[in-house]
């Protein structure tokens, strides 16, 4: 959430920057400014009436002591009327603050100055790429390979739950476990503290990282207990620092977590959702950092390099995209997407997003830090990234490594899998 002070001091800039996200903020920003002025005006009137009531109360005491009870009673009635007026003003002020908050949460985060213009995925900017795209003859897509080698059962998942909930079997299940362990071990080597978070969160947690009220329709909601299944471990891990005041010496704060992730993916359809391409439940390792504002973009670069190292070790062809304004999330200031190439499908598959949210989440979370010099506090910056999401990584591994003898396992995963071939 953008801070009220920032909006007031940078009205035109906020409106212009949000146009890059294809968001017209004019009406909302003007409503925020108007409501804040109204709130301040009501406060001034309430304070004036309170001061008047206090002054009259002192006079009442003096009149009572001097025996002028009739005058004192008359002034008491004035005090009572003033107190009623103060209550009305305070009620109006509270309502104004509610309306102000409702408007504030509607504004997306402003994009970083490096975010390119664009309407959608086709306008994203390729910033780097690497690896060799395999040249395969008669390559099978992963859903056919999964059936051929009996490692992923999509039909059984439909029977048990529904479409988008596959069942991993045998070497398919071991490959899943191997990838999770590999990703966690690599994060540990990079200095991330592993945590195992809950798979459900409350409304405050959903609000803190920006899923609520923006994306409630995309989350599974346990209505009886008013809890939400997490769409990513980012939500509970980042909320560890909700309502926390850190010390400047605490930075860098680095957490990683494995979790199952749950997404309704409402409105998804077509060839892009076949097999592992788009699931309702999937596994992912997430990296999260809470950073000093002065260094958060160096931190972002380090997180991008970490993810790049993972895809390189998995021997996958990869590319990094800087997302354009029209393809960015509500909360992000700058996002880099990682894609790996699927030889059988002949297209790039997104496997990670690495983002800097600057103070947007921290303002919602009330995540601050005390500066070493000075007595004040500042909002921290929050960042996160998929390191990595499994489904499309598995899809690319199966498709790109198919041979007449079976599916070759990348060398880095063999110690984790216990086998070097799926046959």
- Binding-site residues for ATP sit at 263-265, 350-353
381 bridge partner residues: 291
CA distance 121 to 117: 11
Residues making up the binding site for L-serine: 232, 263, 286, 384
Q: Which two three-digit tokens encode residue 64?
A: 């009572």
**For residues 80-108, b (16+ Cβ closer than 10 Å) or e, as one string?**
eebeebbeebeebbeebbebbeebbebbb
Of the candidates 385, 368, 423, the residue with the CA atom closest to the CA atom of residue 186:
385
CA distance 350 to 358: 23
Angle separating helix axes 11-20 and 26-65, nearest 10 degrees: 150
CA distance 164 to 127: 32
Torsion of CA 120, 345, 397, 220, to 10 degrees: 50
- Report DSSP letters for 174-243, one per residue: HHHHHHHHHHHHHHHHTTPEE----SEE-HHHHHHTT-TTTSGGGS-EETTTTEEE-SSTHHHHHGGGTT
Q: φ and ψ at 203, to 5 degrees?
A: -60, -40
Of the candidates 340, 321, 93, 108, the residue with the CA atom closest to the CA atom of residue 210:
108
DSSP designation for 372:
S
Of the candidates 405, 280, 303, 301, the residue with the CA atom closest to the CA atom of residue 352:
303
Q: Which two three-digit tokens encode residue 52?
A: 């008047």
Of the candidates 354, 360, 373, 358, the residue with the CA atom closest to the CA atom of residue 292:
358
Of the candidates 340, 335, 359, 313, the residue with the CA atom closest to the CA atom of residue 400:
340
Residues making up the binding site: 232, 263-265, 286, 350-353, 384
């Amino acid at each position: 959430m953008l801070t009220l002070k920032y909006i007031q001091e940078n009205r035109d800039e906020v409106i212009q920057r949000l146009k890059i996200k294809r968001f017209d903020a004019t009406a909302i920003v003007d409503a925020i400014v108007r409501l804040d002025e109204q709130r301040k005006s009501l406060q001034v009137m309430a304070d004036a009436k309170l001061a008047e009531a206090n002054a009259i109360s002192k006079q009442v005491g003096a009149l009572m002591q001097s025996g002028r009870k009739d005058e004192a009673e008359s002034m008491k009635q004035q005090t009572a009327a003033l107190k009623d007026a103060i209550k009305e003003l305070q009620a109006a002020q509270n309502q104004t603050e509610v309306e102000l908050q409702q408007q504030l949460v509607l504004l997306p985060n402003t994009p970083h100055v490096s975010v390119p213009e664009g309407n959608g995925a086709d306008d994203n900017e390729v910033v780097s790429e690497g690896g060799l795209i395999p040249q395969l003859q008669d390559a099978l897509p992963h859903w056919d390979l999964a059936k051929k080698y009996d490692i992923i059962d999509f039909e059984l998942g439909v029977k048990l739950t529904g479409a988008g909930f596959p069942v991993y079997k045998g070497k398919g299940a071991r490959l899943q476990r191997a990838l999770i362990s590999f990703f966690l071990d690599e994060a540990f080597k990079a200095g991330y503290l592993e945590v195992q978070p809950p798979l459900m969160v409350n409304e405050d947690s959903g609000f803190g990282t920006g899923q609520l009220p923006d994306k409630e329709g995309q989350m599974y909601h346990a209505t009886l207990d008013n809890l939400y299944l997490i769409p990513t471990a980012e939500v509970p891990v980042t909320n560890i620092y909700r309502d926390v005041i850190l010390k400047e010496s605490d930075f860098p704060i680095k957490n990683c977590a494995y979790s199952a992730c749950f997404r309704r993916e409402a409105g998804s359809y077509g060839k892009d959702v076949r097999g592992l391409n788009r699931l309702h439940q999937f596994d992912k390792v997430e990296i999260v950092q809470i950073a000093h504002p002065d260094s958060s973009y160096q931190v972002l670069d380090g997180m991008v390099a970490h993810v790049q190292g993972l895809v390189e070790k998995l021997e996958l062809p990869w590319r990094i995209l800087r997302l354009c304004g029209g393809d960015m999330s509500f909360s992000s200031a700058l996002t880099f997407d990682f894609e790996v190439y699927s030889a059988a499908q002949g297209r790039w598959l997104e496997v990670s997003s690495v983002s800097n949210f600057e103070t947007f989440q921290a303002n919602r979370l009330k995540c601050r830090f005390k500066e070493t010099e000075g007595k004040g506090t500042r909002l921290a910056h929050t960042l996160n990234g998929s390191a990595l999401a499994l489904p499309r990584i598995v899809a690319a591994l199966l498709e790109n490594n198919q041979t007449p003898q079976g599916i070759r396992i990348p060398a880095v995963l063999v110690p984790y899998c216990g086998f070097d071939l799926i046959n």
